[in-house]
Structure 1
């Protein structure tokens, strides 16, 4: 089970890193690269979510797991990564607007 938990943590971390990097690229005006990084974040989130879905499906089918602090940490990590990804998209859009306004002046 720990291996599965670490898969969620690792993919959540990858997603978060890609999302933060996407924000940084958008601050530099590199919007294409920012979009690529968001796609990378989406792929990592998809992998983590698939693992999470398997655990939930197993639970529904009667294969109960013992909830550990590590599992709770993994869930927290995934949810945080999902939120960072969502906010990254908003920041990128704001950076596009800010950069456009700054170019006009």
Structure 2
């Protein structure tokens, strides 16, 4: 269980950092790099989502898991990273229009 939780945190944190890099690159006018970062963030979120799905599938099979602060923290990281990645993608598009 802890391994799954840590995978969610790891991949979500990576996605968040990469999304922020995308914004910084777009701000500099490096749109190809920014778009590449958005793709990388999407892939990291996919990896985090796979771990989350493993927990959900286990519970659907009747494997009850203890809800811990660490699990709540992981879910918080995932949702924040998902939102930030979406906003970063929008910001990249806005920077393109401005330039």
TM band (smaller chain): over 0.9
Give 1:58-73 correspondences, 5 Å limit.
Answer: 58-73=58-73
Distance 1:58 1:38 in 2: 30
Alpha-carbon distance between aligned partners in 2 of 1:44 and 1:79, rounded to the nearest angstrom: 13
Q: Distance in 2 between matches of 1:65 and 1:25?
A: 41
Structural mapping, 1:1-105, within 5 Å? 1-99=1-99
Instruction: Say what the alpha-carbon RMSD is for the aligned residues.
Output: 0.6
- Gapped runs of 5+ residues in structure 1? 100-105
Q: Map Cα deviations across residues 1-28 of structure 1 (whole Å, 9 max, x no partner).
A: 1121111000000000110000000011
Structure 1 residue 95 displacement after superposition: 0.8
Relative to the length of structure 1, the TM-score reads: 0.92
Alignment TM-score, normalising by the size of structure 2: 0.98
The structure 1 segments of at least 4 consecutive aligned residues displaced by more than 2 Å after TM superposition are none
1:77 Cα offset (Å)? 0.4
Matched length: 99
**Any idea what the Cα deviations from partners look like across 1:39-98, whole Å, max 9, x if unmatched?**
110110000000001100100110110000000000010000000000001111111112
**Equivalent position SS for 2:64:** coil
